[in-house]
């Protein structure tokens, strides 16, 4: 089975590379932005004609939420238009698509975890572009998995986890917001779920939510990192309710995972458990 992974130099792509090493019977092709740019339609067409993958895991995206406010056209080009073209190619070449989306398709006004059936209402450019990408997929093909996730972090790349570790190492005081409630999600856990879908060759297509269990603020996330690294007495950590950003953020974006749990019979770790595990792994 041939599996194409786009955007493989991002944190989720790198986690997939890490965990796919144990799946020697599968032929993974990990493509970066430089080797396969989703916005270049002719290059994408030629790639599919040559390789005809059985699965495509789309990890490529414009994910800078703040910058998207000033680069709306680029965000929609990558997260919507290119995704539409990718869905058409997957449909044409009978490729199953696994696409990553976001909790930011919701406005955050609910006070309970969001179900897949809840009404989308993004409040920033990033969320709007990702929701349009979702819509293009569902209107173009049937053999897809759209996986909404939240607050991704890992040992790879630029993310909240690595930023807090670096600032703590440099003895920087931290002011972290309590304004938003969501779920930190270890990208390694998401990668394992994606590989599970591929290994089982599931046909339970559609839209699913996948994040770690539980809920937290960004302050809770930072505090646990410092506690586990025994830095909570050394680093000044202050909670702030109002933290100015260009892009609006949903105040509550916890995702309900019951559909994925009942459909695939998986176990999803609590965010605290998964964070502690990664901290021990990275040392």
Query: Contact, 148 vs 255, CB < 8 A?
Result: yes
Question: Parallel, antiparallel, or unpaired for β 55-58 and 2-6?
Answer: parallel
Q: Which of 47, 104, 114, 126 is catalytic?
A: 126
Those residues with Cβ within 8 angstroms of residue 138's Cβ, 6 or more apart along the chain or in another chain: 144, 146, 207
200 Ramachandran zone, left/alpha/beta (phi>0; psi -120 to 50): alpha
Residue 126: active-site member: yes
CA–CA gap between residue 85 and residue 106 (Å, rounded): 24
Rg over alpha carbons for the chain, rounded to the nearest Å, is 19
How far is residue 186 CA from its own chain's centroid?
9
Query: Contact, 145 vs 2, CB < 8 A?
Result: no
Q: Which residues are catalytic?
A: 126
């Amino acid at each position: 089975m041939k599996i194409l992974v786009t955007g493989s130099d991002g944190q989720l792509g790198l986690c997939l590379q890490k965990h796919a090493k144990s799946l020697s019977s599968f032929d993974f092709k990990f493509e970066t932005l430089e080797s396969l740019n989703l916005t270049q339609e002719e290059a994408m067409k030629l790639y599919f004609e040559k390789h005809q993958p059985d699965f495509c895991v789309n990890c490529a995206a414009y994910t800078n939420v703040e910058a998207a406010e000033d680069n709306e056209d680029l965000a929609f080009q990558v997260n919507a238009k290119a995704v539409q073209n990718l869905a058409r190619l997957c449909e044409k070449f009978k490729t199953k698509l696994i696409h990553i989306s976001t909790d930011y398709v919701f406005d955050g006004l609910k006070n309970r975890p969001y179900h897949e059936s809840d009404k989308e209402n993004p409040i920033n450019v990033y969320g709007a572009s990702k929701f349009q990408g979702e819509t293009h997929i569902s209107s173009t093909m049937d053999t897809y998995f759209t996986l909404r996730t939240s607050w991704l972090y890992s040992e790879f790349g630029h993310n909240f986890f690595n930023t807090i570790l670096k600032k703590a190492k440099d003895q920087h005081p931290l002011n972290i917001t309590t304004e938003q409630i969501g779920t930190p999600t270890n990208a390694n856990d998401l990668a394992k779920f994606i590989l599970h879908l591929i290994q089982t060759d599931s046909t339970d297509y559609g839209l699913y939510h996948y994040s770690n269990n539980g809920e937290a603020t960004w302050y809770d996330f930072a505090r646990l990192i410092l506690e586990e690294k025994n830095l909570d007495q050394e680093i000044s950590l202050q909670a702030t309710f109002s933290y100015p950003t260009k892009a609006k953020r949903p105040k509550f974006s916890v995702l309900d995972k019951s559909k994925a749990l009942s459909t695939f019979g998986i176990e999803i770790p609590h965010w605290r458990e998964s964070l502690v595990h990664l901290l021990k792994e990275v040392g």
